[in-house]
Structures are given as structure tokens and as C-alpha cells.
Chain A
Amino acid sequence: MNQILQGAWIIPVLPLLAFVIIGMFLHRWPKWAATVSILAIGLAMLYSLLVALEVFSAQPGEVFVMAVPWLNMPGLQVNMGILIDPLSTVMLLVVTIVALLVQVYSLGYMEGDPGFASYFAYQSIFAGSMLGLVLSSNFGQVFVFWELVGLCSYLLIGFWFERESAKEAAKKAFITNRVGDFGFLLGILFLAVLFGNLDYATLEARLANYQNLAVLIPIAFLLFAGPIGKSAQFPLHVWLPDAMEGPTPVSALIHAATMVAAGVYLLARAFFIFSAVPQAMLFIAAVGGFTALFAASIALVQDDIKRILAYSTLSQLGYMVMALGIGAMTAGMFHLMTHAFFKSLLFLGAGSVIHALNGEQNIWKMGGLAPKMPVTTWTFVIGALALAGIPPLSGFWSKDEILLGAYASGNMLLYGLGSIVAFMTAFYMFRLIFVAFFGSSKHDRHAHESKPVMTVPLLVLAVLSFGAGFVGSPLMGNVFAHYITAPGVLHHQPNVSIMAISSLLAMAGIALAWIIYQKQAISHLSLRRRWAGVYQLLYHKYYIDELYARLAAVFVDGTARVLEWVDLRIVNGAVNGLAYLTAWTGRTLRYTEDGQVQTYALYLFAGVVVILISALLVVYTALA
């Protein structure tokens, strides 16, 4: 068994190697670049499957760690290594499978793009970094790969860099993440100073009998800043909707399925720290729950198909974070997995539509796509049903676990919030479907089904979206919870009434969407007029982007201008003033040099007289 696990370092290395090869040799040969990239991620996926076989045939709780020193000195030790346990194995599978499917899909979607080769290079480095993050055995390594996936996200959001909006979105994503990483890095520094070691295993062992739990409070809050940024939780959520400027497969892979889930993964990975700090747990749950509701409400009124999905992603990430916050780590990870499948399916489906309509993203300009694009439509519907939480699709099981956890935690506010969000989710997804796929066509383009290279990944993901939930369903004995667990994680008996309520809410949401947008029994336009204030508020995302832009302009640029003035006028002014003073002194004193010998002689005699008088004075005062 160990031989397979020992070789697992190859999983992140393969895509990274592909990146190097493409970057150095293949950027002129796009076809070969894509081949190398897909080959690398394919092999990584196969190896991940081998690892999974090993891990899931062993006892739960077995952890394999291997590390080499990377940055070592007395008092600081950062290793590069791999940590394989069921948690990281699940992530390995999710990342490699979705990445592979997205890359295959990209063959069709990105066809003919002048940046085809670099696109695959970026995809490869992303896959490598993401896998490195997943396998990290310590906080130092996690931070390294955490930033690298952020870089890939930056590069891929700004992939079509000739667009002003893409350039701005990329920048916004990186800087917003940096704000979160600022806190994250401080948390890591705290740990490094306290323990001198950043390995998960060592830290967990040290914390188990650590007395001074109070110092963990700032650490937990600071570490949580990382996930707030990366998983786009309120108030650092603003970058994710803008990140949709990137190519759609990128949105599917990075901004829905994998990278944004890294924050949740980190929460699960460092659960032993967070669960020791109840205040932080409450805060995490609150942030997650609020984000879920907040983002879902914005998704209700958006017009851009990708933005609806983006806010949906925010909302679902909020769910996961909330689950972690209430101690239901298993449920959160379970939802992460199912969400990765159905949300990437939805994004790829949206990409297929956008591709067919030559870049049209406004759902009101679509319509009537179902007959022309059957595969896309029906896989999209499966994804939406899974997201809405209709049994027995995967989303139902995972969402239900979270709601169950919220209910069992006794926090009825969070439970109620989660249930409302479930209703809203079903509503906005089916609003999208009824408007974009059904009804009359509102465009003059000849939409047609995409090529097999794009539809086959859709079909595979549809199967996964449908079936992936069974691993965690009580019907199958909840194998998932058997393996993915940690000390302090609560497991609850399945509760049929909660299942029923959430399913009913989801169906009610679908029904309402059907009434408004399909039957048009209630005109959505009149609703919009009646609630104009609320509509504007939601449509403009609560004006948070505007607020941030204003704050940045005042605080960052304002301070910058003030300090620049200080530097130019005061610091440089002092320097130049000193220089001017020197020059002025010289200019003034030169008038004493008139070239007349007699003037000099006068000075001389005057000097002598002064010296004599002062000498006499000194002598007399000394005598007196």
C-alpha cells in the first residue's frame, strides 16, 4: 500500500511539469500543448484513483504523511510534503476529475483562440497548484499553493486581457484575495511563533494538550480571513462575480468547483484549531449563513447567466462555511463534493449556451433553446435539480445533511436561514431555466448543439451530479461520513421531516418560478415595478462594489496623494531646502570676497583686534 501513497507526490508534479513543458517548448504548437496538458491531468486522475482505492480500503483515520525540508532553520521549519487521508483523497478525486473534464471541454470551447497554448499552460499550473494545496501537510505549504492558485485565477480571469473589464476583474480578484491572505498570513505567523512548526500533525498533537486556549482565539479568527477571501464570503465576496470575465470553463473549474472551495477545505483541514474556539465557530457559521442568504437574494434578479451562477456559488459556499461553523464538517465537505460536480456542470452548460449564441450572456435574450440544444438543456436541468436539492439527486443529500446539522445544533436562526436559501435557490435556478431554455426564442442566431468534445463532459458530470450523493446518503449507510470525520465533528441521525420540509421548499420554489416565468400567470415586470426599491437594491448587489470603490478611492488613493505631497514637499523639500541654504550661504558670503587686498587686510586687522580684546577680557575676568 505504501508504495502507491509514497509516489503520490507525482500527482501535483505531473501538471506542473506539463506547465513547464508547454511554457518552454510548446507555446507555438497549441495542439500539442493541449495534448500534454490533458495527458498530465489524466494521469494525475488515474493515480488519484489508485490512491483512493488504497485509502478507502484501509481503516478510516489512517493518515499518510511524507515531507522533505524546504525552508529550515532553527526555530522555523517549513516542509514540502504530502498528507493523504480520506479528506485529501476526496479533494484529489474532485479536483482531478473536474479538471480533466473541463480541459477536455475547453478543447471545443477555446478552439481557435490565439492564446490556446497559454490557456492550457495556465490550466496545468492551476491543476498542479490546486493538487499541491490539497495534499499540503502544513500551513506553510498551504500558503504557498494558496497564493499560486490565486495567481492562476488572476491569469485566467484576465485571460482575454484586451478587454478592459477582464483586466479590472483580474486585478480586483487578486487584491481582494490579498486582503484575506493578509489575515491568513498573520494567523500562520502566530502559529509559527508559538509552535515553531507548521505541520498539521504536529500542531494537532501539540494542541491536544495545550493549556492556553485563549491565544487560539486570534489565531482562529485570523486564519478564517483566508477562507473569507478565497471562498468569497461576505465581506470579501465582491471579486467572484466579476471573475466571470474569464473563459467559462475557467469559471466552472476555478470559480465554482475547486479553487473557491479551497477555503472550505482549509476550514476542514484545520478543523482541530477552529473547533477549539467556540467564538470563532459561531462567527464562521454566521458569516457562512449570512453569505448564503445575501448572495441568493442577489441571484434572484440578475440577468447575466454566469452572474446568476456566480451568486449561486457564493450562496452555496456560504452553506458549506456555515456547515463547518456549526461543527458539521462532514456535511460541509460532502456539499463541497456534490457542489463541485453540479456547479461545474451548470457552468459548462452555460458555456455551451454562450458558445452557441456567440457570446450572448443575458438570459432575456435567449429562450427556446431546449429543442435546439437537447443535451445541454437536459444536463443543465439535472444540474439545476441537484442544486435545488430535489431528491434523490446529489445536492439533496448534501444540503439535507447541512440543514440537519443546523437543526441539531439548536440554532434555529441558521436552520431557518438555510431553509429560506433552499427555497430561493430553487426559484432562481428555475427562473434561469424557464427564461433561457424554454419559452419563445428572443434572438436571431442559429443556436445548435455543441460538439461531442463539449457535450461528453456534460454527460459525465450529469451522471456524477445525479449519483454522487449516494455515497453520503443514509440509504447507503453514509460511507462518506464513515471516512470523512474528525474529533469534534457531530453526526446526527437522519430526520425524515427535515428532508421533507427541504424538498417541499425546493419544489415550491420551482413551482413559483414556473408560475411567474413559464405560465406567466403573474407578470414579473409588474412585480419588478411594485417592488422597485428592493429590485434596484438587489440588482445593484446592495451597492457594495460602489461602496468599496469609494472607500478605496478615499483611503488608498487619498492617503497616497497626501503622502506623495509630504514626500515631495516636506521630505524632498527639506533636502532641497538644505541644498538651497548651502547655496544661499555661499552666494551671500561671496560678497566679502571683493578682490581688494586692502579689504582682506582690514578683515585681518579687525580679526586681530577682536582676538586681542577677547583675550584681554578673558584674562581680566580670570584675574577678577
Chain B
Amino acid sequence: MQSFPVLTVTLLVPVIGAACIMLLSADNRKTIKYIAASSTFISLVLTLVVFFAFDRSQPGMQFVESIPWVKDLGVAYALGVDGISIPMLLLTNLIGFSAVYASWQVEERAKEFFALLLLLITGVMGTFVATDLFIFFLFYEVVVIPIYLLIIMFGSSKRVTREYAGMKLTIYLLIGSAFLLVGLISLFIKAQAILGFPTMDISTLAAVDFPVWFQVFVFALMALGFGTLLSMFPFHAWSPDGYAGAPTAVSMIHAGVLKKIGGYGLIRIGLYILPLGAKYIAPLIAVLAIANVVYAAFICVSQKDLKYIVGYSSVSHMGYVLIGIAALNLISLNGAVMMMYAHGVMAALFFAMIGNLYEKSHTREVTDFGGLAHQMPRLATGLMLAGLASLGLPGLVNFIGEFTIFVGAFREYQILTIVAVSGIVLTAVYILRTLGDVLFGPRKAQWDHLADLRGVEMVPLIVLGGAIVIGGILPFTLMELINSGMGQLLAHASLTQMGGGL
């Protein structure tokens, strides 16, 4: 294992797939799709290998690779995974694999579509396995361009045009990354002044004793940057419009994993390197998190477009992640990572099902539907599963995340957590209304021509639905990992002692 660079290979397979697709003629749509499917499948298998081969008794980075790259800047091509990044990596690959199948009906410009999709997946994976700030940022920027192109080329225009959606999303991402870049550069310069040598290595930076004011300043920048990415209130406006405009696969990847780079970054970079900054900024984040939860949940109640409902609901759920991060204790942070994973599979399943429905019916208005469980029982199963996961039903993976976050957050912010818990009632209201209006009620003859899921369309349902159920019934499979990674991270930041002090 030591000699085989499994992470690099996992990253490279989709790139090679994309390259192969670009070499093919655009008419070979079948071959293009097979290449996309098989390269994401190989990545998924390799990730599962990493998942099972990861030595749980030893916290810390494993499968480490490091090649010096730009010596003068201390940049190295450094990869590694620990208990926090493995769930994210797994999530990316589960969703990437499903996303290819959810886009099986793409015929027009399929070549560009799948090449860009594979590139996007690589970019997202890269951010989760990078242990070097520069590499992290590099992969993050790799993500932006394919997202933009995919939306404006393949998106749909409803309430807003796809050009508007793509542009809005891209500008938000870039503004976020501008804040990040300032933060990263100041980190780099300050660290060089303190250490005497340049470095971009995250764990080396984490060992540096930055002054408090500096930590607060840089953490605030990161909270802005990563918060925008995580659709933190009031920087969430890109999310519903972006998802509504994006093609199915992009919505899946974006809501499923791309958003999670925000939470992951806040933990891995913000909290790990700048624990004191985190401590000062955290109460503010907690308040915004509550706004996320309640505000977005209320807006969901009055939405009529399925994608907007899921879009706003994902804003609402990110509030849970944020309050988990803001509470800064082991339990809440474990919950936040679990919640990111859980929300990822859930949102991806939701978007896959909605995309499929939209593909066939050409509408996403809740009021147009009704009684679809008669015509499409399998799609109904998928939507129910995603919906129930979304409202935090025990036995499904989201409950684990929410419950853990609540327990952890309750220690630090009683009142705020009580408000956050009330989100479970609101979520139940809008999810059950939506599901009821779409799936149940009298059969409508106008939808009799809709065919149920079959063949490859079942793949997202099986893969993501399976992940939701397995994670919910056997939460310890993931929680053990997360806990080992988080325990080490927090011990390093010695946050366990200072939690709640302020």
C-alpha cells in the first residue's frame, strides 16, 4: 500500500477519462458514457479500498504522498487522508458515480458534458485529499470553471435564466475564493516571518503560534470565504438559483459535495490552523447558522418549484453544519462532519429524482403534480427516502448528524440550539407537504405516460439510497472514523480544554 500512490490514482482516473473522452468523436455517445461511468467507478472502488484499508487505530494522515513542487514557496504536491477527509472523499465518489448515471439521457454535446463533469469531480476530490494549502486552493479553482460551463451550456431556465444562475454562482464562488486567497497569503507571509522558512503544509502551519488578533482577522476572512461556499446567511442567495439553473448532475455534485468544501475548509484550515480565531468568531457563526436553519426553512414552506425547495432546504441544513462547527467541541464537530456526509447523499438523491422527473414531465411545479406514486412507485420511493432523510428520520443517516450536532451544540448555545431544533418541525412541514402534493392524492391522467425508473436510472437510487440507509442503521462505521480524525485535530488545537470558555 505504501508504495502505491492510491490517492493520486484516484484523482487521475477521472482526468484520464476526461482526456479519453476529448479524443473521441462526439458521435460515440455510448462510449463516452461508458468511459465516464467506468472512470468514476474505478475512483469509487479505490475510495472504498481507502475506506476499508484505513487503519482506524492510528489517527492522523494516512496514504500520505508528498513531492516538493515550488521549493521557494514551500509548496509541495502533498496528499493524505484522515478520518475527516475519508467521508468527504467517499461522498464525492458516491455522488460522482451516481451523477454520471443521472445524466445518462444527455445526448446533445455529451462529449463536453462528461469531460467537464469528470474534471469537476477531480477538482472536488482534490480539495478533500490535499494537505497543502496551495494544492487545496488550486483544486478549488479547478472546480469553478467546469461548474460555470456546465450550467450555462446545459442548464435550464425557469425563474431565472441559466446564464444568470451560472454567472451568479460563479461570481459568488470567486468572491469567496478572493477572501480565501487574502487569508491564505497572509497566513503564508506571517508563518514565514515566524518560522523563518516558507511553507504551505497545513499541519506545519497548524503548529505555528499566530498572535490572537491575526488569527481573528484571518479566520474572519475564511469564515466569509468558506461561509459563502457553505451558503451561510446572508451569503446564500446563489444556492437556490444556482441549483435551479444547473443540470441534474451539477446540482447533485454542487449541493452534495461542493458546498461541503466550505465546511471541510472551515474545520481543516480554519479551526486547525487558527483555533483562537475560531473561538472568537464562533458565536457570530452560531447566530448566522440559526438564521440559516429557520429562515431558509420558512422560505421552503412557500416555494412551489421542487428544485427551489431542495435548494432552500439545503441552505437550512447547512445551518446545522455551521452551528456544529461553531460549538467547537468534539461532539458537535463530529456531528457537523456526519451531517455534511448525510446531507450530501440526501441532496444528491433528491436532485437525481427531481431531475429524472423533470426530464420526463418538463415541469417542476409542485402544483402540477399529484398522485405520482400511482405511475412511478420507484421514483416515489426515492423521493420519500430523500425526504424522510431530510426531515431527520432515525434509521436514516441525517438523523445521526443532527442528533450529534444538537447534543454537542446544546452544551455551548442552549437558546440557539433550541431554536435550531425547532427546525425539525418546520422541515417536516415543508417536506411532507411537498411529498404529499407530488406523490399522493388522486391519480392524474395527464401523467399516465410517465415511465417509472428503470435500468440505469435505478443506479442513483440504489447507490445513494443504500448510503442513506446503511449510514443510518450502522452509524458507527463512519462515526468511528470521523471521531478519530476529529479527536486528533482537536487535541492538536487543544480546543477540548478551551471549549466554551468565552
Which residues of A pack against B, CB within 8 Å? Answer: 69-76, 78, 140, 143-145, 147-148, 151, 154, 158, 161-164, 166-168, 170-171, 174-175, 178-179, 181-182, 185-186, 189-190, 192-193, 556-557, 559-561, 563-564, 567, 571-572, 574-575, 579
Contacts and interface: CB of A to CB of B under 8 A. Distances in A.
Contacts of B433: 171
A168 B388 CA distance: 17
Contacts of A181: 424
A78 B472 CA distance: 13
Residue from B374, B394, B424, B483 with most neighbouring chain A CB atoms (10 Å): B394
Contacts of A148: 393-395
B237 A571 contact: yes
27 contacts: A69-B476, A71-B404, A73-B330, A73-B331, A73-B483, A76-B404, A147-B395, A148-B393, A158-B436, A161-B441, A162-B442, A174-B428, A175-B425, A175-B429, A182-B421, A185-B406, A189-B410, A189-B417, A559-B298, A560-B300, A561-B302, A563-B295, A564-B299, A567-B299, A571-B236, A571-B237, A575-B168
B129 interface: no
A161 B404 contact: no
Nearest to A182: B425
A571 B295 CA distance: 12
Contacts of A78: 403
A162 B374 CA distance: 8
B5 interface: no
Contacts of B410: 189-190, 192-193
A29 to B, nearest CB: 16
B443 interface: yes
Contacts of A171: 432-433, 436
Nearest to A559: B298
Contacts of B425: 175, 178-179, 182
A491 B125 CA distance: 65
A164 B302 contact: no
A171 B433 CA distance: 7
B394 A557 contact: no
Contacts of B391: 178
Interface in B375-423: 388, 391, 393-395, 399-400, 403-404, 406-408, 410-411, 417-418, 421-422
B211 interface: no
Contact of B443 (A162, A167, A189): A162
The binding surface of chain B is classed by DSSP as helix
Contact of B487 (A74, A170, A186, A193): A74
B479 A73 contact: yes
Nearest to B417: A189
* Binding site secondary structure of chain A: helix
A478 B162 CA distance: 74
B442 A560 contact: no
B393 A147 contact: yes
A112 B374 CA distance: 17
Contacts of A154: 432
A151 B396 CA distance: 12
Nearest to B407: A192
B301 interface: yes
Contacts of A151: 388, 393
B378 to A, nearest CB: 11
A182 B424 contact: yes
B373 interface: yes
Nearest to B394: A144
B440 interface: yes
Contacts of B301: 556-557, 560
A266 B220 CA distance: 46
Contact of A70 (B331, B426, B475, B487): B475
Given A171-B436, A556-B429, A186 B421 contact: yes
Interface string B329-363: 11100100000000000000000000000000000
Contacts of A170: 436, 440
Interface in B205-263: 234, 236-237, 241
A146 to B, nearest CB: 8
Nearest to A166: B440
Nearest to B428: A178
Contacts of A144: 394-395, 399
Which residue, A73, A161, A193, A572, has most C-beta atoms of chain B within 10 A?
A73
B359 to A, nearest CB: 24
Contacts of B422: 182
B439 interface: yes
Contacts of A140: 403
B338 to A, nearest CB: 9
B386 to A, nearest CB: 14
Contacts of A559: 298
Nearest to B475: A71
Contacts of B394: 143-145, 147-148
Given A147-B394, A158-B440, A164-B442, A189 B421 contact: yes
B257 to A, nearest CB: 24
Contacts of A556: 298, 301, 426, 429
Contact of A185 (B295, B404, B424): B424
B393, B403, B411, B475 — most chain A CB neighbours (10 Å): B403
A143 to B, nearest CB: 7
A161 B373 CA distance: 9
Which of A140, A144, A166, A579 lies at the interface centre, i.e. has the most chain B CB atoms within 10 A of its CB? A144
A75 B476 contact: no
B146 interface: no
Nearest to A178: B428
A584 to B, nearest CB: 16
A564 B302 contact: yes
A166 B171 CA distance: 46
Contacts of A147: 393-395, 399
A572 B393 CA distance: 32
B371 interface: yes
B299 A563 contact: yes
A494 to B, nearest CB: 43
